[in-house]
Amino acid sequence: MPIDERASVPVPTMARVHLAHAVVQSIAESAGLDLLHLKGPALDPSVRTPQLSTDADVLARPGQVTVLGRALHAHGWSQRTGFEEGSAWAHAANWHHPQFGYVDVHRSWPGFRLPPADAFDVLFSSAGVRQIAHHPCPVPDIDAQWLVVLLHAARSAASRPDLSSARAAFNAAPAARQDAVRKLADRLGGTVPLQLALGEAVADPDAEAALWRVHLCGGDRWEEWRARWAAARGPAAKLKVLRAAARVSRGPLAIELGHEPGTWDVVRAQGARFGTLVRGLRRRLARATGR
């Protein structure tokens, strides 16, 4: 019976994730670029959490991000969102390939106050290697893996129940391991986010603490944008916050809709965003006036 070359076989999501890690690493190697693979199949078994990865995550050397983007594009990947669109920390851009799915390319990791290039050097200097889809991929050491997992769980706590599992697993780790993770967090400028992730009292909260608490405990869009404004350092950063609050980004909207948004899609989303902000402001005013 002849084989129909046009026929497609569904590929399990986890298989795509493994392949995406290997393919992106191969592309980076060919271009002479440095990557660290994060989360999912990049984790040591002792650090694994119940949350399954649906995309690949890599941390690129910040000065090489643009070159990596060109290399991905040359190999059939298309950029779906830019760094400024992805999150309050503007830390990752999302890329897609029709066969290998999605990869988030990180230029920094939320929770590290050390300059991104310096933070990458710290993580890369102690990196190891894991075989992912039979390809050697550089990964952070186990202490850094724990820190990445905990900070990611804290940043997603309001929408996913990963944090309690991550905390329990970390608390069950040897005391020496816990101490090493705390020391690494201090070295990277991530002590406050780690304390918040672990549910500990924060003796010296920084400007980003309110933003982390919104992600930890949940909050309306008004509270989130207020926290983002407080966390933004300098006039230029605050101006970016205002622009982001006022404008719907087409990239994330395309992912949400499953297709490239048309004019009316953007108009509806813009109206919904404005309505959400107004309702949040009304609730805050009502609480303040006791009505």
Q: What is the residue extent of each domain of the chain? A: 247-291
> 13-30 and 65-74 are packed helices; what angle lies between their axes, rounded to 10 degrees?
110
Other Cβ atoms closer than 10 A to 159: 9
Give the global pTM.
0.77
Q: Is the pLDDT of residue 270 over 50?
A: yes
Q: Give buried/exposed letters for 217-252 (b at 16+ CB in 10 A, else e).
A: eebbbbbbbbbbeebbeeeeeeeebeebbeebbbbb
What is the arithmetic mean of pLDDT over 155-176? 82
Return d(Cα 225, Cα 128) in angstroms, integer: 38
As a whole number, the mean pLDDT across the chain is 82
Say if residue 271 is exposed, middle or buried (CB neighbours under 10 Å; 0-12, 13-18, 19+). exposed
Least confident of 13-17, 123-127, 262-266: 262-266
Which tens digit of pLDDT belongs to each residue from 215-225?
777 666 656 65
Which tens digit of pLDDT belongs to each residue from 79-95?
998 887 767 778 999 99
| φ/ψ (deg, to 5) at 57 | -125, 130
Return d(Cα 175, Cα 53) in angstroms, integer: 28
Asked if residue 147 lies in contact with residue 190, where contact means CB atoms within 8 angstroms, the answer is yes
